[in-house]
């Protein structure tokens, strides 16, 4: 059984709307043993919005999204029917691994909009030192994902912009993977994944800039809701439908490589992925597409140079940890180009840096 090749669209239930967290107790009906996993900032943001007390055991993750922390939390919890994740990507991914360890259902309450972690059965696993380790595939998707657009207006702009960058990659990665795949070899679900990713790209290019403005004005607009659902839900559907054809490719390989530079550890996932889009496009000689994207990147605040990710030395020696990982046989840049080499990626980075 290869779970990575299965069609896994996402959460069992997805509820999105303004103020819907006020109905939260009704979603706990039927569960007796409930435990909450959250983080310090996530917990504070949730308490400011949701004034009622949740009288369930609450546990803090250690900030790493590591399997080691998930196992430790599972041992501390011992037994649960439902794990409630309150937080952003790393909290949620930790809670997914805990739920897997305990064979429990998972209810996800994202505290900000930055990626599709609240929706998918996939986790980004890091080592305790916060370097990227692997992608993990859980046997269950979340039982329920609750997206309260009024609550999520508290999302810091930087995270929302990072979510836009991470989600925009869905189109460029699936297009890069499937461009050489003959039409008659595409399954129905791969075709659906491609269509989903294209719809995401068009939606973001149209709505993301107004949505960022609405976020800054704390205005729950239709554009803000559409972009929120695209980042959290539709992004997960792309890989869910198309499986390995619709998940990580060159952009995420660059992100994973950048995690080996300590100077990037404070940089958000989606911003590193957004830079990775440009590197992938440079490698595939789609320079015109990079030029087309530049006004959008500038307006949204997405990085176009490594210095915007706190990487000041762009020499081959300094970037070797990044490129070694991104070009490795077990990374996903080879989904775009099976013959990808260290020098290919270095040249693509230099192309982006020189534009």
Contact 80, 58 (CB under 8 A): no
What angle in degrees, to the nearest 10, is found between the helix axes of 188-216 and 287-300?
A: 30
Q: Is 113 annotated as a binding residue?
A: yes
Kindly tell me the burial class for residue 7, based on how many C-beta atoms sit within 10 Å of its own C-beta (0-12, 13-18, 19 or more): middle
Q: Is 260 annotated as a binding residue?
A: no
Q: Is 283 annotated as a binding residue?
A: no
Q: Is 126 annotated as a binding residue?
A: yes
As a whole number of angstroms, the distance between CA 143 and CA 120 comes to 10
Q: Is 93 annotated as a binding residue?
A: yes
User: Helix (H, G, I), strand (E, B), or coil: what is residue 124?
Assistant: strand
Closest by CA to 178, choosing from 186, 170, 189, 166, is 186
**Both structure tokens of 53:** 């007390």
* Residue indicated by tokens 């189109």: 171
Q: Is 166 annotated as a binding residue?
A: yes
Q: Is 252 annotated as a binding residue?
A: yes
As a whole number of angstroms, the distance between CA 313 and CA 93 comes to 32
Strands 34-38 and 82-87: parallel
As a whole number of angstroms, the distance between CA 114 and CA 166 comes to 8
As a whole number of angstroms, the distance between CA 10 and CA 101 comes to 19
Kindly tell me the burial class for residue 291, based on how many C-beta atoms sit within 10 Å of its own C-beta (0-12, 13-18, 19 or more): exposed
Q: Is 112 annotated as a binding residue?
A: yes
Q: Residues within the annotated binding site for NAD(+)?
A: 89-93, 111-114, 120, 126
Q: Residues within the annotated binding site for glycerol?
A: 166, 252, 269
Q: Residues within the annotated binding site?
A: 89-93, 111-114, 120, 126, 166, 252, 269
């Amino acid at each position: 059984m290869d779970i990575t090749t299965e069609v896994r669209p996402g959460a069992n239930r997805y509820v999105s709307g303004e103020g819907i967290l006020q109905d939260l107790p009704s979603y706990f009906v039927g569960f007796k043993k409930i435990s909450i996993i959250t983080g310090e900032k996530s917990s504070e943001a949730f308490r400011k919005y949701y004034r009622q007390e949740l009288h369930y055991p609450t546990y803090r993750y250690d900030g790493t999204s590591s399997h080691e922390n998930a196992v430790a939390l599972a041992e501390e919890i011992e037994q649960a029917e439902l794990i409630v994740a309150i937080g952003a990507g790393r909290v949620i991914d930790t809670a997914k691994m805990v739920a897997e360890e305990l064979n429990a259902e998972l209810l996800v309450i994202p505290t900000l909009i930055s990626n599709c972690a609240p929706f998918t059965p996939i986790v980004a696993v890091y080592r305790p030192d916060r370097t990227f380790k692997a992608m993990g595939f859980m046997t269950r998707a979340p039982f329920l994902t609750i997206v309260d657009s009024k609550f999520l207006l508290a999302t810091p702009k930087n995270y929302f912009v990072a979510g836009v960058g991470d989600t925009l990659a869905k189109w460029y990665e699936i297009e890069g993977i499937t461009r050489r795949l003959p039409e008659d070899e595409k399954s129905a679900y791969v075709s659906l994944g491609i269509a989903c990713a294209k719809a995401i790209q068009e939606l973001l290019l149209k709505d993301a800039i107004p949505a960022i403005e609405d976020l800054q004005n704390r205005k729950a607009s239709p554009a803000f809701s559409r972009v929120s659902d695209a980042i959290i839900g539709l992004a997960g559907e792309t890989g869910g439908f198309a499986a390995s054809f619709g998940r990580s490719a060159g952009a995420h390989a660059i992100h994973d490589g950048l995690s080996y530079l300590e100077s990037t550890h404070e940089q958000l996932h989606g911003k590193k992925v957004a830079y990775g889009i440009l590197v992938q496009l440079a490698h595939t000689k789609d320079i015109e597409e990079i030029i087309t994207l530049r006004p959008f990147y500038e307006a949204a605040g997405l990085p176009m140079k490594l210095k915007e990710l706190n990487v000041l030395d762009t020499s081959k020696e300094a970037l070797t940890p990044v490129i070694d990982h991104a070009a490795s046989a077990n990374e996903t840049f080879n989904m775009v180009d099976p013959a990808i080499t260290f020098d290919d990626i270095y040249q693509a980075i230099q192309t982006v840096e020189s534009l």
